[in-house]
Structure 1
Amino acid sequence: MNASRPVEALQGSLLDLSEPVGKRTHAAFLLRTLASSAEASADSRQAAVDALTRALQNREDSDLMRHEVAYILGQVGSVAAIPALSEVLRDAADDAIVRHECAEALGAIGHEAALPVLREHLEDAAPEVQSTCELAVALLEHQQRASGAATGARTASGGYLSVDPAPPLEDGLSTEEICRIFLDEEESLFRRYRAMFSLRNRAKTEATAVETLCSGLQDKNALFRHEVAYVLGQVQAASSAPALIRTLENREEHRMVRHEAAEALGAIGGVSAEAILSKYVADEEDMVKESCEVALDSIDYWQNLQFVET
């Protein structure tokens, strides 16, 4: 499968619940590529967004896949996805992790049209949703102050291509001060997230940044822990694997944290990561089980690619 395949074929793979979750995830991310491509026609980009939206709205699909699709819609940044993301966020009967990801995606799109629904859920009964809406509102307000426009700047940082739920902290802060902010539970969640992404951007050159990020896996806020695991997957430091393995092994941990730990281990790879993922691919928690399957598929993909290139 490659990005030149028609949207219809990718949509077919994504919506076919009988297909392996790894294959369907590939289809979703190829649709992301198409939806974001400046070389694709406007009709093709919109068709890709529509296909992703259909997958999000399919309540028969797994929570993991719908959560991934919501994430992708946020990364694509299409304002046309705001109604569908808002609809899922507003549905208190839907899965909290899917709703959380919709809220984060609304923040990532970066348009003020998302502010009303996000503000509606600042007191949501689901902690994951409530905290994510708090972050998304803070992000949109921060972007509006910085740009003075209805649509804020959607920029990546530190060489990473993701649109993050918070920008890094202001320049000029020492790593020591950034670590202090990251660990200080009295700081606002938004400022702690900004510190998290500042540490991510320094983690390739400063071991202290990786060590501090790993310590964040012990934070009392599950949403914070899940984002830390995601960031460690971006950094791909082998030194973080033991902390991520402990997180995945902890059956008392929130499923969204274990899910992110599994996918981070898939990004890091290696013998120990592959062994623990193979063990938990039979986990009783569906989101964890499917995440391990996706992670193993990712390891296999990159191993095969390296083999072909050599």
Structure 2
Amino acid sequence: MPIKVPDEKIIAIGKLLCNPNKPLKERFRALFTLRNLGGDVAISAISECFSDPSALLKHELAYCLGQMQDKHAIPKLVEVLKDTSQEPMVRHEAGEALGAIGDTSILELLQEYSNDPVIEVAETCQLAVERLRWLQLKGKSEEKLEKNETFLSVDPAPAAAENDVEKLKGILTNESLPLFDRYRAMFSLRNINSPESAKALAAGFKGASTLFRHEIGFVLGQMSCESVVEDLAKVVADKSENEMVRHEAAEALGAIATEGAMKVLEEHLKDEAVVVRESCIVALDMCDYENSKEFQYADGLVRVDEVTG
């Protein structure tokens, strides 16, 4: 159950989130505090920040709204998805968030944007459509099962029933299969959560789809497995790779938080790509958290209390 917090405190955390003069790492912590709190006031606070110049922050706003699984976020997410002035990674995340909420009332809209000229947006909406159709087939009673309790995330596709790493790797890397099936293999490998399954996932970085490769980076971050630090480091360092993929690889290194991972992040703090260097800043803050005795990463309430208390 969400923590009951006075509206004025939630609004204050929202002001911290939307303050461009605050360090990005503090704004990220405020965002995740709002996500954890939930409710209409938190959704409104997050929604007010989509005019920010940081594509990284805006994409994370959309992600958090989807993870909250609250229908009150749908209008803002639809607005962002439709807004072609927003960066592709932001629009993609809005499409994925709509799928995560799981409301079939937006199925037609997602079908429309499955043909978007921006391939990352189109593929995201195609996956969201498949997820909603899967939920319809499973029935509403199954919908609550869609939040993975180990990784505390609502995934864009359900994990496959298969649990053989080599078979799943074969599905993952088979470009002739539907993207939805390959995503299901991806999340099954993540759930196995072993060094072997992490290395199998890393093979997905050779895939043709930018969206697919970026999701590989994301799930490797969820696993926090040291066996793929070198694989992730290569992705971050590859200037020919899409920024969306490089940024997820950087954040995955932040979750792993080893000395080697931190070294890679420090090397890219001045990367030419804004979204990559911002990701390294946030990822290093996550490293600090992982290697500290801090009670929680989402510490927006504490920071607001320090200012107002």
Unaligned segments of structure 2, at least 5 residues: 297-309
Amino acid at match of 2:150: G
Picking from 52, 64, 72, the partner of 2:46 is 52
Determine the structure 2 residue equivalent to 1:199: 189
CA shift in 2, pair 1:3/1:273, >3 Å: farther
1:251 aligns with 2:239: yes
1:32 aligns with 2:35: yes
1:186 aligns with 2:187: no
Unaligned segments of structure 1, at least 5 residues: 36-44
CA shift in 2, pair 1:254/1:94, >3 Å: same
Residue-by-residue CA offset, 1:104-149 (whole Å, 9 max, x unaligned)? 0000000012212211111111011010000000000011111158
5 Å-filtered alignment, 1:73-112, equals 73-112=65-104
> If the length of structure 1 is used for normalisation, what is the TM-score?
0.89
Deviation of 1:154 after TM superposition, in Å, equals 5.5
Amino acid at match of 2:29: H
How far, CA to CA, are the matches of 2:165 and 2:23 in structure 1?
42
Amino acid at match of 1:97: M
* C-alpha contact (below 8 Å) 1:77/1:108 kept by paired residues: yes
Deviation of 1:89 after TM superposition, in Å, equals 0.6
1:132 aligns with 2:120: no
Deviation of 1:177 after TM superposition, in Å, equals 2.1
Determine the structure 2 residue equivalent to 1:12: 15
CA shift in 2, pair 1:3/1:54, >3 Å: same
Amino acid at match of 1:89: L
CA shift in 2, pair 1:63/1:307, >3 Å: closer
251-260 or 111-120: bigger deviation? 111-120
Picking from 218, 221, 224, the partner of 1:233 is 221
Residue-by-residue CA offset, 1:182-211 (whole Å, 9 max, x unaligned)? 11111100010000000001123xx33111
- Tell me, what secondary structure is at the counterpart of 1:17? coil
Structure with bigger RCO (C-alpha 8 Å, 6+ apart)? 2
1:286 aligns with 2:299: no
- Tell me the matched-pair count: 292
Deviation of 1:152 after TM superposition, in Å, equals 4.1
How far, CA to CA, are the matches of 1:306 and 1:243 in structure 2?
29
How far, CA to CA, are the matches of 1:72 and 1:154 in structure 2?
19
Amino acid at match of 1:91: D
Picking from 154, 160, 169, the partner of 2:151 is 160
CA shift in 2, pair 1:148/1:275, >3 Å: closer
* C-alpha contact (below 8 Å) 2:257/2:290 kept by paired residues: no
How far, CA to CA, are the matches of 2:78 and 2:145 in structure 1?
19
5 Å-filtered alignment, 1:109-128, equals 109-128=101-120
> If the length of structure 2 is used for normalisation, what is the TM-score?
0.90
Q: Cα RMSD (Å) of the superposition?
A: 2.0
Amino acid at match of 2:133: E
Amino acid at match of 2:158: P
Amino acid at match of 1:262: A
296-305 or 94-103: bigger deviation? 296-305
CA shift in 2, pair 1:139/1:213, >3 Å: same
How far, CA to CA, are the matches of 1:157 and 1:92 in structure 2?
32
How far, CA to CA, are the matches of 2:266 and 2:76 in structure 1?
35
Amino acid at match of 2:77: L
CA shift in 2, pair 1:303/1:175, >3 Å: closer
Deviation of 1:153 after TM superposition, in Å, equals 3.9
